[in-house]
Every structure is written in C-alpha cells, then in structure tokens.
C-alpha cells in the first residue's frame, strides 16, 4: 500500500498498483463458534481444499514479478494438515509476504514445525481479559490465545493481533494497548465489526457500532498503543474532505478465495453469489451473472457502493441530503506508527 502522511505519525495506506494480496480460505471449519463469525458455509461450503488443490491454486495466483502477499485463513487454517506445506510452497512460488490468520489454537504443532522466518502469525483476540474475550469467542480461548502468542514471540515469530471492535467489546478496547505491551505484541489491527456471516443476521445487528463510537474511541486507542511503541492499523471508514475515494475492487488486486472455488474482489460481497470469478478445473473463469464488478463501476456521493447497499445506517446526511462523510473502501487502512 502507498502511504500518505496526514499528520505526524498517522498515514492513510492507499492502494499500491503493483501490490497483490491473496486471501486463501483453506477451509470453513473451525474449532470455535465466535458470536460474530463471518464464515458462511451456505455460500462457501464446508469442504477443505486438498493438498493438490492448494498447490494448484497457489500456482494460479502466483505472480513473482509483482509484490504478491498470501494470507492463509479459514475457518481456522491451522486445522489444515498441509498448512506448513502450503506456506513453504507459496514461498517457493515467490510470494513475498506469508501470513497465517489464526484464532490462536495453532493445531498440528505449528510453532514447532514452522520456522519464524517462514510466516507472520496474526492472532485474533476480542477482549483484554477472559471475561470480555471469552464471552465472544468461547470459554478458555483468552488463555490459549495469549499463551500461544507469547510462545510465538519467544520463538522469534513476527506476530500481530486483530481485535474485531463491536458493541460487545468497544468499551474494553482502551485496555488493549497495555495488554499488547505486556505480551510483547508490536502490531495491532483494529477491525470494525462486519456485516457478514453471523454478524449480518437480524439478531446480531446490535453488534454494529455507531459512527460516533468509532470516531471517539478508535483513534484515541491507536494513539495510546503507538505511544507504547506499537504499530497500529485500522480501517479508515470515514474519508476526510480532501481524501480521494478508492475502490479496491477497481484499483487494487485483492483476491478472496474460498474452498468451493469462488473468488471475490470485495470482502463485503462474500455473503452473496456476486463473486467475479470461479476457479473451475484449475482455471479462473469469469462469472457470467451480475457480479460485484458491475456494482464497483457505480459512482455515488456516499463513497463505497456496497456499504450503501448493505449498511446505509453508517452514513450521516446533512439537511440538504448530502453525506457528511464518504465511507471509504473497507480495505483502506489508517496506520499510526509507533513513537
Ligand atoms: S475463529 Fe474465526 S472462523 Fe472460527 S468461529 Fe471465530 S470468527 Fe469464525
Ligand atoms: S468495500 Fe466498497 S470500495 Fe472496497 S472493494 Fe468493496 S465495493 Fe469497493
């Protein structure tokens, strides 16, 4: 991503034309049942890619002449018995950055089998203590996740922590920087609760944040974490008046691949059969139905088209009916560098 300074240490990470990010969901199965889980087996199946398919799809998306990053996810990717093989194969194919997004359980003895230089480990944790985290992610999860994270740090792995901010845990977010410092994690991603999977269901809509909450709490926590020497990244969400709107679907190369072969350009579309492509017999085939690509081509004053369709509640209008803020692409990030 290209960086533009807004003030001192805050930068918007605009999309870089020659960077590619491949988000490879190896399976949809998971040992946990988080309350906001975004996985949608109805849309993406319940299968796991085989070792041969994993290799085939990694080859399909490899482009060593560009800066291609691969992110292995699930479900829980460490449940896949060939994850370590996939990491090594991706590196052989010339992928630059290799990341594993894990819930912290690190199955198949991952910390022993993997070398620290082979992959970055990104842990998901949704609270600064067991009471908050485990109410969302399940009993005992806080201890497993933080213990394994600290072991990973001790072994020399590069680690990061992702906190999905929702109504369930926003009040506890200010306690996270101290925890990160204590457990030795120097990268912090704050993710806004999505509108996918379980969190898109009517009963769960109460998880969504208001614009006021996000703007009041998140930048302040980011500054506090940066003051403790932690790099912080969070979605931009609200664009400043002088900031350009960019749709990653049009201006970047992000591919979200699912075990049933669907390939999306926009994560907000994942609950619908709007995928731009389908992998069929090892080839990338254009989806002939109406897809996300047609939606990206619409220009609206509110910014992101899919946001306007799926969660218009986060757009505030003035008396004349003009939006007070444009909503940025969900993939556009703000970074606060450590002090
Ligand atoms: S760890 Fe991830 S995939 Fe598993 S239940 Fe939680 S949100 Fe869903
Ligand atoms: S989130 Fe919005 S702006 Fe970003 S890729 Fe999707 S449609 Fe485009």
Residue 281 domain-assigned (yes or no): no
Residue 179 domain-assigned (yes or no): yes
Residue 276 domain-assigned (yes or no): no
What mean pLDDT do residues 206-220 have? Answer: 85
Confidence of residue 205 (pLDDT cuts 50, 70, 90): low
Q: How far is the CA of 102 from the centre of ligand 1 (A)?
A: 9
Q: What is the pLDDT of residues 139-192, one digit of tens each?
A: 999 999 999 999 999 999 999 999 999 999 999 999 999 999 999 999 999 998
Residue 78 domain-assigned (yes or no): yes
Q: What is the pLDDT of residue 202?
A: 43
The least confident of 6-10, 90-94, 120-124, 277-281 is 6-10
Q: What is the pLDDT of residue 240?
A: 84
CA–CA distance, 336 with 284 (Å, rounded to integer): 37
CA–CA distance, 202 with 212 (Å, rounded to integer): 22
More confident residue, 211 or 32: 32
Atom of ligand 2 nearest to the CA of 307: 2
Q: How far is the CA of 304 from the centre of ligand 2 (A)?
A: 5
Nearest CA to ligand 2 atom 2: 304
Atom of ligand 2 nearest to the CA of 331: 4
Contact 304, 329 (CB under 8 A): yes
Q: How far is the CA of 2 from the centre of ligand 1 (A)?
A: 30
Of the candidates 200, 238, 241, 264, the one whose C-alpha atom is nearest the C-alpha of residue 329 is 238
Nearest CA to ligand 2 atom 7: 306
Residue 53 domain-assigned (yes or no): yes
Which of 39, 43, 145 for mutating ligand 1's site (highest number of atoms within 8 Å of CB)? 39
Of the candidates 67, 15, 23, the one whose C-alpha atom is nearest the C-alpha of residue 258 is 23
Sign of CA dihedral 145, 148, 153, 158: negative
CATH number for the domain harbouring residue 165: 3.20.20.70
Residue 278 domain-assigned (yes or no): no
Residue 280 domain-assigned (yes or no): no
Q: How many domains does the chain have?
A: 1
Which of 48, 75, 139, 166 for mutating ligand 1's site (highest number of atoms within 8 Å of CB)? 75
CA of 136, nearest ligand number: 1
Residue 225 domain-assigned (yes or no): yes
Q: What is the pLDDT of residues 235-284, one digit of tens each?
A: 988 888 888 999 999 999 999 999 999 999 999 999 999 999 999 999 99
Of the candidates 140, 143, 99, 142, the one whose C-alpha atom is nearest the C-alpha of residue 122 is 99
CA of 31, nearest ligand number: 1
Q: What is the pLDDT of residues 53-82, one digit of tens each?
A: 999 999 999 998 999 999 999 999 999 999
Q: What is the pTM of this model?
A: 0.93
Q: What is the pLDDT of residue 197?
A: 55
Q: How far is the CA of 246 from the centre of ligand 2 (A)?
A: 8
Question: For all residues of the chain together, what is the average pLDDT?
Answer: 91
Q: Which domain holds residue 42?
A: 2-245+325-336
């Amino acid at each position: 991503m290209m960086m533009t300074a807004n003030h001192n240490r805050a930068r918007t990470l605009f999309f870089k034309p020659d960077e590619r990010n491949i988000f490879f969901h190896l399976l949809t199965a998971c040992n946990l049942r988080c309350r906001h889980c975004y996985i949608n087996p109805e849309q993406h199946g319940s299968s796991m890619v085989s070792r041969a398919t994993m290799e085939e799809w990694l080859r399909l998306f490899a482009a060593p002449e560009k800066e291609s990053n691969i992110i292995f996810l699930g479900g829980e990717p460490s449940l896949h018995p060939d994850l370590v093989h996939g990491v090594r194969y991706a590196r052989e194919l010339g992928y630059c950055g290799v990341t594993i997004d894990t819930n912290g359980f690190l199955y198949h003895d991952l910390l022993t089998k993997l070398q620290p230089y082979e992959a970055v480990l990104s842990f998901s944790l949704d609270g600064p203590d067991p009471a908050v985290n485990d109410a969302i992610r399940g009993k005992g999860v806080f201890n497993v996740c933080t213990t394994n994270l600290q072991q990973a740090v001790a072994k020399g792995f590069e680690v990061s922590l992702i906190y999905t901010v929702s109504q369930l845990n926003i009040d506890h977010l200010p306690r996270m920087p101290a925890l990160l410092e204590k457990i030795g994690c120097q990268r912090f991603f704050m993710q806004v609760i999505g509108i996918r999977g379980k969190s898109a269901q009517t009963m769960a809509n109460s998880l969504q944040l208001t614009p006021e909450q996000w703007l009041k709490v998140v930048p302040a926590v980011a500054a506090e974490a940066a003051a403790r020497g932690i790099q912080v990244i969070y979605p931009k969400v609200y664009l400043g008046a002088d900031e350009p709107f960019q749709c990653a679907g049009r201006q970047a190369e992000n591919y979200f691949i699912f075990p049933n072969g669907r390939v999306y350009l926009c994560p907000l579309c994942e609950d619908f059969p709007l995928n731009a492509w389908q992998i069929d017999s090892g080839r990338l085939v254009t989806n002939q139905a109406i897809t996300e690509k047609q939606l990206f081509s619409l220009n609206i004053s509110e910014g992101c088209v899919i946001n306007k369709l799926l969660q218009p509640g986060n757009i505030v209008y003035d008396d004349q009916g003009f939006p007070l803020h444009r909503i940025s692409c969900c993939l556009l990030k703000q970074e606060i560098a450590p002090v």
